């Protein structure tokens, strides 16, 4: 009983505000350095100050343009991410259930994991034309392989005793994967999902910088590209700030909550 | 007290007419270690009648756990065959539930109650509500009612083993397999768990095979003890345990302990590895 209360205490009120406070200090420090250097440099075309960047951010949101761009990017991102997760789930499950799947995944990941997603963009353009399907294709490619590798590694590190206990209870096939392997390998799967999320963002912005989806419905990458061409540097920085903010939000709210509700509660990972 | 011995004897007599619950015939188990084949169990035969608690006793590396895994259906023997109620053992099944030594046999993402209930739903196909009710009952019987909603990582080793035992008993297997379930526990906890397990076994009249390298543990929990020689594992001798001998601290207990010790070590230097 005492062990339980001990384990629960640090995750509660004590540690979290302190952690958030330190993070906030680092964040403010960076902003201060940026502002100081920008003022000293005095060249807003190269490096705008923090306040002009935030002004650009504000006017971008107020005019609705930045909101549209962000939503366009997020839509493509989510479709591609979901596709990548589905492909990775299929591959890793197949690999967990059969020797053939195991070898197939090994060959496929060693071929495609090192291949930058953007390098596939020319091919995607040929196959799917300019537009959302091409970007979704390269995002799937960027998410699927690292996530499949993470899932597969996670599945393989599930304790033999746990596997035997599950088989003893009559579990096999897809149910064994979904009900035993996935939760048991969840720490690795969660870190694979995080990595996949970051890769998806990078690929999306890179692809949009190359050609946009189309000038009307382009996303944040397109916004950055156009503003750079028009020497609207504060807006370029505003576009970057939005990407960073979304990243912080997704990490801070989504992944951290999932982690707290799963692997930390199950004792598979320390908080 | 002597009722058990009588039952046991009548069980033996009946075994001549009725086929035994479990029969292991000329089983040899090999596994590959690097480039060579190692024979872990060599030509072992044994019969088990319903209600018996058979202990496989021997030093580390005598293949007793390997034999148990083969009976559990996790390993296929190289030669010989294993039958439960006349049906060949081909793979793991809830009819033969194993309690392992390792603590990670529980599902860490489920609470104590959910672990036991999950076993009931998957192994016996019970509906959710009924599984929960049976699980609660068994958790109470192993003394963990207060911890029903705790996750395994917050429990001590002994408590985790209680959960695993509750899960296995709740499923009501035809044959309960226990693979050194108390080996990783401290001496005091182990002793208490032996007594509790014995009580559960006598209550439920479960048929069980118990693997251990502890002589006192073997005498305490078993109705019959098979001693094994190491490298490769072979049965040296079989001992029936009487109720007198099972009483800890009795003269009979000490006598049987001494006899088993002699059998196991029998002047061989390699036996105490």
Q: What is the pTM of this model?
A: 0.82
Task: Select from B93, B109, B150 the Cβ nearest to the Cβ of A4.
Answer: B150
**Where are the extended beta strands (E) located within chain B?**
22-33, 36-48, 53-57, 79-84, 87-88, 96-99, 175-179, 208-212, 224-229, 234-240
**Contact status, residue A171 vs residue A205, Cβ threshold 8 Å:** no
Q: Is B51 helix (H, G, I), strand (E, B) or coil?
A: coil
Summarize the confidence of residues B195-203 as an average pLDDT: 91
- Spatial distance between the Cα atoms of A228 and A237, rounded to a whole number of angstroms: 10
Lowest mean pLDDT among A74-78, A157-161, B237-241: B237-241
Nearest CA of chain B to the CA of A248: how many Å? 27
Q: Which of A4, A165, A178 to mutate to test the interface with B (most CBs of B within 10 A)?
A: A165
Helix (H) or strand (E) holding A202, with range, is helix A186-211
pLDDT of residue A216: 57
Asked if residue A86 belongs to a domain, the reply is: yes
Asked if residue A46 belongs to a domain, the reply is: no
User: Which residues in chain B are contacts of A162 at CB distance < 8 A?
Assistant: 104-105, 107
Within 10 angstroms of residue A160's Cβ, the number of other Cβ atoms is 12
Question: CB contact, 8 Å: A265 with chain B?
Answer: yes
> With an 8 Å Cβ cutoff, are A170 and B94 in contact?
yes
Nearest CA of chain B to the CA of A164: how many Å? 7
Q: Which of A8, A161, A162, A168 to mutate to test the interface with B (most CBs of B within 10 A)?
A: A168
pLDDT at B250 exceeding the cut of 70 = yes
pLDDT at B3 exceeding the cut of 50 = no
Q: Which of B92, B94, B116, B171 to mutate to test the interface with A (most CBs of A within 10 A)?
A: B92
Within 10 angstroms of residue B263's Cβ, the number of other Cβ atoms is 16
Across the A/B interface, how many CB contacts are shorter than 8 Å?
A: 72
Range of the domain at A82: 61-261
**Contact status, residue A148 vs residue A169, Cβ threshold 8 Å:** no
User: Which residues in chain A are contacts of B102 at CB distance < 8 A?
Assistant: 159, 161
Task: Select from A7, A161, A186 the Cβ nearest to the Cβ of B104.
Answer: A161
The dihedral built from the CA positions of residue B171, B163, B65 and B192, taken in this order, carries a sign that is: negative
User: Which residues in chain B are contacts of A267 at CB distance < 8 A?
Assistant: 108, 151-154
Asked if residue A197 belongs to a domain, the reply is: yes
Task: Select from B93, B105, B164 the Cβ nearest to the Cβ of A170.
Answer: B93
A14-72 pLDDT per residue, tens? 555 666 788 889 989 999 999 999 999 988 889 999 999 999 999 999 998 899 999 98
pLDDT at B11 exceeding the cut of 50 = no
Nearest residue in chain A measured CA to CA from B153: A267
Task: Select from A3, A168, A268 the Cβ nearest to the Cβ of B154.
Answer: A3
Residues above pLDDT 70, as percent of chain A: 90
Question: CB contact, 8 Å: A168 with chain B?
Answer: yes
Q: Where are the alpha helices (DSSP H) in B125-273?
A: 128-141, 157-170, 187-204, 215-221, 243-246, 251-265
- Spatial distance between the Cα atoms of B260 and B228, rounded to a whole number of angstroms: 11
- Spatial distance between the Cα atoms of B126 and A136, rounded to a whole number of angstroms: 44
At A142, list the tokens.
Answer: 């960027």
> What CATH number is associated with residue A123?
1.10.3720.10
DSSP β-ladder status, B234-240 and B224-229: antiparallel
- Spatial distance between the Cα atoms of B234 and A155, rounded to a whole number of angstroms: 36
> With an 8 Å Cβ cutoff, are B123 and A7 in contact?
no
Say how many domains are in chain A. Answer: 1
**Which residues are CB-contacts of B227 (< 8 A; sequence separation ≥ 6)?**
B57, B58, B235, B236, B237, B238, B239, B260, B263, B264
Summarize the confidence of residues A182-208 as an average pLDDT: 91
ipTM: 0.86
Summarize the confidence of residues A100-107 as an average pLDDT: 92
> With an 8 Å Cβ cutoff, are A168 and B107 in contact?
no
Nearest CA of chain B to the CA of A60: how many Å? 45
Asked if residue A268 belongs to a domain, the reply is: no
pLDDT of residue A262: 86
> With an 8 Å Cβ cutoff, are B106 and A165 in contact?
yes
User: Which residues in chain A are contacts of B119 at CB distance < 8 A?
Assistant: 169
Q: Sorting pLDDT into bands at 50, 70 and 90, what band is B115?
A: very high
């Amino acid at each position: 009983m005492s062990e339980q209360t001990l384990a629960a205490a640090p995750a509660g009120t004590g540690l979290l505000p302190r952690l958030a406070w330190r993070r906030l200090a680092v964040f403010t420090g960076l902003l201060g350095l940026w502002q100081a250097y920008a003022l000293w440099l005095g060249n807003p075309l190269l490096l705008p100050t923090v306040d002009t960047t935030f002004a650009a951010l504000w006017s971008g949101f107020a005019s609705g343009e930045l909101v549209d761009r962000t939503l366009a990017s997020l839509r493509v991102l989510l479709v591609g991410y979901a596709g990548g997760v589905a492909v990775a789930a299929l591959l890793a499950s197949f690999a967990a259930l059969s020797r053939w799947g195991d070898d197939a995944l090994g060959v496929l990941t060693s071929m495609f994991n090192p291949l930058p997603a953007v390098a596939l963009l020319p091919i995607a353009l040929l196959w799917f034309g300019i537009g959302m399907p091409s970007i979704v294709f390269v995002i799937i490619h960027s998410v699927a392989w690292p996530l499949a590798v993470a899932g597969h590694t996670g599945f393989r590190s599930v304790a033999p005793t746990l596997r035997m206990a599950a088989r003893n209870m009559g579990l096999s096939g897809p149910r064994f994967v979904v009900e035993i392997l996935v939760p048991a390998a969840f720490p690795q799967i969660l870190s694979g999902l995080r990595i996949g999320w970051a890769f998806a963002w990078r690929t999306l912005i890179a692809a949009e910088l190359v050609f946009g989806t189309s000038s009307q419905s382009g996303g944040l990458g397109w916004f950055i590209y156009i503003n750079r061409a028009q020497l609207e540097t504060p807006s370029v920085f505003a576009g970057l700030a939005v990407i960073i903010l979304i990243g912080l939000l997704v990490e801070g709210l989504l992944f951290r909550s999932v982690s707290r509700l799963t692997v930390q509660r199950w004792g598979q990972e320390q908080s | 007290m002597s009722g058990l011995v009588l039952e046991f004897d009548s069980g033996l007599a009946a075994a001549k007419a009725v086929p035994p619950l479990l029969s292991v015939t000329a089983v040899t188990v090999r596994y590959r270690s690097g480039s060579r084949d190692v024979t872990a169990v060599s030509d072992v035969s044994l019969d088990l009648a319903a209600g018996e608690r058979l202990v496989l006793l021997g030093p580390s590396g005598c293949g007793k756990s390997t034999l148990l895994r083969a009976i559990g259906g996790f390993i296929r023997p190289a030669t010989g065959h294993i039958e439960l109620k006349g049906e060949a053992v081909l793979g793991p099944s809830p009819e033969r539930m194993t309690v392992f030594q390792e603590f990670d046999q529980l599902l860490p993402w489920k609470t104590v109650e959910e672990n036991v209930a999950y076993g009931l739903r998957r192994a016996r196909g019970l509906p959710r509500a009924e599984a929960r009710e049976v699980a609660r009952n068994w958790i109470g019987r192993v003394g963990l009612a207060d911890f029903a909603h705790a996750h395994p990582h917050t429990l001590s080793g002994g408590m985790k083993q209680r959960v695993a035992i509750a899960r296995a008993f709740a499923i009501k297997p035809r044959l309960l397999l226990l693979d050194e379930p108390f080996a990783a526990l401290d001496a005091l906890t182990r002793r208490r768990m032996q007594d509790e397990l014995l009580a559960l076994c006598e209550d439920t009249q479960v048929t069980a095979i118990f693997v251990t390298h502890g002589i006192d543990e073997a005498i305490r929990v078993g109705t019959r003890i098979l001693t094994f020689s190491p490298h490769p594992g072979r049965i040296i001798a079989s001992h029936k345990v009487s109720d007198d001998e099972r009483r800890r601290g009795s003269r009979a207990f000490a006598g049987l302990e001494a006899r088993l010790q002699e059998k196991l070590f029998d002047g061989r230097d390699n036996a105490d590895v």
